[in-house]
A and B are shown apart, each in its own frame.
Chain A
Amino acid sequence: MPDSTALNLRLGIASLLASGFLFFYAIPRFVSAPSNINNIVLSPLFWPYILSVLTALVGLGLIAVSITGEPEEDGFAEPGPMLPKWGRLAALALIMAATFLLLPALGMVWTSMLAFLATAFLFRTRHPVAAVICAVLIPLVLYGFFAHVAGVAVPQGNFVRLP
C-alpha cells in the first residue's frame, strides 16, 4: 500500500473514532443543555453534534480516497536512523511538561533559564558558552520588559524573587 494512502487511511479511521467518541460519549456527557428547549436547532448540543457528524463524513471521504488513492510521500517516513529523532522528541516533550509544572514553584525567569539551557543542549548547540549567556540574559530581559514596561505580574516562584 502506498504511504500516502496509509496516511489517509489512518486519518480517516482516526476521524471516525473521534467522531464516534464525540457523538456517543463526549457530547452527551460534557455538553449540558437546559431541559426546557423545545427546538433542537437552538440547543447548545446542536452545533457539536453537527460537527461530529461532519467529522465522520470527512473520515469516510479520507478512507474512500485511501482506497482509490495516489502514491505520495508519507510525512513520517524519512531516511536515516529514527531512534535518535524520536528520542529527542520525547525529551522535548519532557522539557515542555517540566517547564509547565515548574512555572508556579520556580517562577517564570528561573524556569525559562532552565528550559532554554535544556532545549539548546538537546538541539546539540555548537555554542555552549553563548547558550549559557543567552539562557540567563533572555529571560531576564523579557522579565524586565513584561514586568516593568507592560505591567504583567510575572510569576516569581517560591525561592528567589526579582525586583
Chain B
Amino acid sequence: MSLIESLAAGFALVGNIEAFLMLFCGLIVGVIGGAIPGLSATMAVALALPFTFSMAPINGILLLLGVYKGGIFGGSIPAILIKTPGTPASSATILDGHPMAERGEAGRALGMALYASCTADAVSNLALILFAGWLASFAMNFGPPEFFALILFSLTIIAGVSGESLLRGALSALAGLLLATIGLDLVYGTNRFTFGNPNMMGGLNFIAVLIGLFAIPEIIAMAWNPVAHLGKTRSLGKTRCTLADYLGSIKSILRGSLIGVFLGSIPGIGAAPSAFLSYSEARRTSKNKANFGKGEIEGVAASEAGNNGVAGATLIPLLALGVPGDVITAIIIGAFMVHGLQPGPMMFILNVDIIYGLFIGLIISSVLLLIVGSVAIRGFRFVADVPKRLLMPAVLVLCIYGVFAVNNNIFDVGVMLVMGWVGYLMMRARIPAAPFLIAFILGPLLEDNFRQAMLMSGSDPVILFRGPITWFFWALTGLTVFAITRSTLRKRVPLS
C-alpha cells in the first residue's frame, strides 16, 4: 500500500465525528484525572480502558491516547497550584511552577505549561510518524533470537531505571515473569501453577492485574492516611503567559521536546527522568540560571516540554516492536489486545489503516489539548474540590465493574483485589510496579521467543548471539547493567 493509500485508509477510519469526540472526551478525562492528586494519568488510563471494550478499535485507542496526553498535561496543574504533582512526571514542574504561583503568577505558569506541552506533544507525534514505520520495517528482519535479546534489554532497562534500586526493580520484573507463567504451557499445553482451577488455565487476566496494581493501591493508601491529599490551592493571579514569554523559552521547549522524544523512544525510561533532564539542561544553558528554582518561567517550559515530549515517542517501540515504552503504553497495549490487534512490525502490514488513523488522530490531539487545557486551567478549582474520600470509593466501584466487564468473570475481580494488595505492599517496600507489569506482559513473548530459538538451533544457545542485531541488544543490556551498577556504587561511596 502506498503512502497516499495508507493515509486515505487512515482518514476513512478517523474522518468521522465519533473518532474526534472520543479523542476530545479522552483529553477531558485525562486532564481531570491528571489534575486530581492521587488519581494520576496512569490510573485514569486504566480506569478508562473498560469503557473502550464496546467501541470500534480506533475510537477506543484514540480515547485512551487522549486520556494519556491529557493526563500528562493535567498533572502540571496541581503541581503549580498546590505543590502536589498530579503525575510523577510533573514533579520537575513544581520547582519553578509553585514559586511562580506563590508570587501570584499561577496563570502565567499554567499558560506556559500548556503551550510547552502542546509544542512538545506535536514534536513527539511527528517523531512517531517519521520513525515508527522505519523501525517497523527494520524489525521485519527480526527472528526469535533478536526478539529475545530486545525484550531482555527492555526488561533490564525498565528494572534498572523505574525505581531507586536495580535489585528491587529486578525483583519486581522477576515476580511479573513468574506470574506470567501461570496457565497452560505455550508449547505442550500442560498445567503451570493452575492449582486445578479452570479460571487460571488461560493465565491471569492482564487487565485485572494492571488495574489491581495501579488503581487499588491508591485506595488502600487512602485507608492508611485519609488526609494525605489535603493542600492549599493558589489562585491563578492576573498575569498571563505572553507570546514573548513563549518565544523567550522556545529553545528550552524544543530541546526538552527532543530529549523527551529520545528518552521516550527507549523502552522503560518514561516521562519523569525526561522532565528532570530537560529542566537541568535548560538551567545549565539559560542566561537566567540564577532564577531557576525561584520561579523562572523557562524552568516550567523545559520540564513540561520534557515530560510531554515522551507521549508520542513511547508509542514508537509499542507500534513498531510491540514493546511498551512505559506503564501507560503497557495499558494501551491492553486495548489493542482486547480488540484482537497485536502491536508490532506486522501491524504495519495487516492494520495499516489503524496505524495511519492513529497518526492523524495524534496530530489533531495536540490542537485539541490546547483547547481542553485552556478551559481546564480555569476550571481546576472545581476539580480540586472533588472530595477524595468519595472519589476513591467511586474508583473502587468503577474498578469492580471494569474488570468484570473484560471476561464477565467474578474471578477476575478477585485477582484485581489481590493484586491491589500486592501493589500496595510493593509501594510501601519501594519496589517499582512498572517492571512487574511490563514483565507480566512481555513474559510470554520472552519465553516463547527463547523456546523458538532453541527449537531452531537444536538447543544450541549460541543462536542467541547469532548476528549484529543480537550483539547490539546484548551490548546495550550489558551497558545498562554496568551503568546502573556504577551509578548506584557512586551514590554509596560518600556515605561509607
Task: Report which A residues bind B (CB closer than 8 A).
Answer: 7-8, 11, 15, 22, 26, 30-34, 37, 39, 41-42, 44, 47-48, 51-52, 54-55, 58-59, 61-62, 65, 68, 70-71, 75-76, 85, 88-89, 91-93, 96-97, 99-100, 103-104, 108, 111-112, 115-117, 119-120, 122-127, 130-131, 134-135, 138-139, 142-143, 145-146, 149-155
Contacts and interface: CB of A to CB of B under 8 A. Distances in A.
A115 B396 contact: yes
B439 to A, nearest CB: 10
A26 B193 contact: yes
Interface in B145-168: 165, 167-168
Contact of A93 (B400, B421, B491): B421
17 contacts: A26-B193, A31-B181, A33-B190, A44-B190, A55-B171, A89-B223, A89-B224, A100-B417, A108-B404, A119-B393, A120-B389, A134-B390, A138-B397, A143-B401, A152-B404, A153-B408, A154-B404
- Label chain A's interface by main secondary structure: helix
Contacts of A135: 393
Given A99-B400, A100-B417, A142-B401, A62 B167 contact: yes
Contacts of B137: none
Given A26-B193, A32-B190, A58-B170, A75 B178 contact: no
Contact of B171 (A15, A88, A93, A143): A15
Contacts of A75: 427-430
B398 interface: yes
B487 interface: no
Contact of A47 (B181, B224, B420): B181
Given A89-B220, A112-B400, A123 B393 contact: yes
A129 B398 CA distance: 20
Contact of B190 (A7, A34, A59, A130): A34
Interface in B26-72: 50-51, 53-54
Contacts, number: 192
A11 B54 CA distance: 42
Nearest to B184: A44
Given A44-B190, A127-B389, A150-B53, 19 more contacts: A7-B429, A8-B165, A15-B171, A26-B193, A33-B190, A42-B187, A44-B187, A51-B177, A55-B178, A65-B167, A75-B429, A115-B393, A115-B400, A116-B396, A119-B392, A123-B226, A123-B392, A131-B390, A131-B393
A69 to B, nearest CB: 8
B398 A88 contact: no
A31 B389 CA distance: 44
Contacts of B239: none
A30 B451 contact: no
Contacts of A32: 190-192
A48 B192 contact: yes
A142 B397 CA distance: 9
A55 B495 CA distance: 28
B191 A124 contact: no
A19 to B, nearest CB: 9
B241 interface: no
B408 A152 contact: yes
B223 A120 contact: no
